[in-house]
Structure 1
Amino acid sequence: PAPSPAAFTAAGDFGPTDVAWVELMIPMDELALRMLALVQDRSSDPGMRKLAARISTVHRSELVKLRQLLLRSGVPETNPHQGHNMPGMVTPEELATIGRASGAAFDRLVTEHLREHLKQSVVVAQGEQRSGANQDTKALAATMEKTRSSQLGDLERLGG
């Protein structure tokens, strides 16, 4: 078993909220990217394909920054959320269900899960901004909150 994150002390000015937020956002983004990758081949909606591509690009960039912050914090890269069914985090089972769907049912499932992912990302980014200690982590959370809110608007305009 992996050591508990509580067993490690973060380096510098990283507090427990900073570390917890980064450790949560990494798997949230990774799983969302797996879902978004299905959209290019499976969605019948060109607008959804374009939006998924834009969101994927942003998520990949965010993952680089999140991993850099985790490395700077001194906390080992583990996934303390492995196997958890958390709000906004697409589960492997949900990914399998989405992967089996087609047509309008596929688009509906992706839209529902993407909406939940984006909404929950905004909520936890706001929490990081309120309670975090590391300024770079809080700045990334602020950027992500704005970006995810904009992406939610784009999703709603698609009819989601």
Structure 2
Amino acid sequence: MRIRSKVSGIWGAALVAISVAVLAGCTAEPPAHTQARATAPVVHPGAPGGDSRTAPPGATASPTVAGPSAADVRFAEAMIPHHRQALEMAGLVRDRTTTPAITALAGRISAAQGPEITVMSDWLTRLGRAVPGHGHAGDMPGMATLEQMNRLRGLRGAEFDRYFLQLMITHHKGALTMAADELAKGTDRGMLLIAKDVHTGQSIEIARMQDLAAR
């Protein structure tokens, strides 16, 4: 009986020691590097042209997707008719000049701006906004007047080339102004991407057209 009591006492003491060790492990301080991760702020990158934001400790690193703003809507509603006029001007090229550089430029304009009109029109429709119609004036910078468009239609050959470049350079510069405004004030990722493409692509085309006009 005494031997059994001693054995029971030994096992009981061992179980108590194990329990104390387990409890001590549960309440121990986590490693320093783990604490640093838990208390460090999380930086969320902003949309193109926007600022980053700092999230509270423990927040996820995935950025939130911003919804459309009034600036995005204004950009789409203005850029659609602006692009349409560029397509109209480009469409005049085939029957009025045989200059390869002008023909190639018109093709690039149509290939880039036609799909952008479709994207912006679909985006406005999903928002319940009316897609704007065609126009030759308004608040959009760089737009050719109806008189200028009629004059362009009446020209051929080298005269057409010169006037086409003059109008299209002005038109593209207007698009850069609109794109820069969207990049500064917009929040919708789709519209910001279009604005970035417009600003990059049309800056390159302006340089090419200025080179052509100087020849």
User: TM over 0.5, yes or no?
Assistant: yes
Give aligned-pair identity as a percent. 28
Aligned partner of 2:111 in structure 1 is 57
Contact 1:14 1:134 in 2 (8 A): yes
Q: Mapping of 1:11-160 within 5 angstroms?
A: 13-79=67-133, 83-84=137-138, 86-159=140-213
In structure 1, C-alpha distance between the alignment counterparts of 2:136 and 2:70, rounded to whole Å: 19
Q: What SS does the corresponding residue of 1:42 show, helix, strand or coil?
A: coil
Aligned partner of 2:10 in structure 1 is none
Q: What SS does the corresponding residue of 1:150 show, helix, strand or coil?
A: helix
- State the number of aligned residues: 149
Which stretches in structure 2 are left out of the alignment for 5+ residues?
A: 1-65
In structure 1, C-alpha distance between the alignment counterparts of 2:134 and 2:212, rounded to whole Å: 34
Structure with larger RCO (C-alpha < 8 A, sep 6+) = 1
Q: CA RMSD in A?
A: 2.1
**How far did residue 55 of structure 1 move?**
1.3
Distance change >3 Å, CA 135–CA 86, structure 1 → 2: closer
In structure 2, C-alpha distance between the alignment counterparts of 1:149 and 1:135, rounded to whole Å: 21
Distance change >3 Å, CA 88–CA 139, structure 1 → 2: same
Q: What SS does the corresponding residue of 2:94 show, helix, strand or coil?
A: helix
- Using the size of structure 1 for normalisation, the TM-score is 0.83
**How far did residue 81 of structure 1 move?**
6.3
Contact 1:19 1:73 in 2 (8 A): no
- Using the size of structure 2 for normalisation, the TM-score is 0.63
**How far did residue 93 of structure 1 move?**
2.5
Give the number of the structure whose residues are more often helix, by fraction.
1
**How far did residue 86 of structure 1 move?**
4.2
In structure 1, C-alpha distance between the alignment counterparts of 2:152 and 2:125, rounded to whole Å: 33
**How far did residue 13 of structure 1 move?**
2.1
Larger radius of gyration: 2
Per-residue displacement from partner, 1:9-46 (whole Å, max 9, x unpaired)? xxx92211111110111001111111111111102422
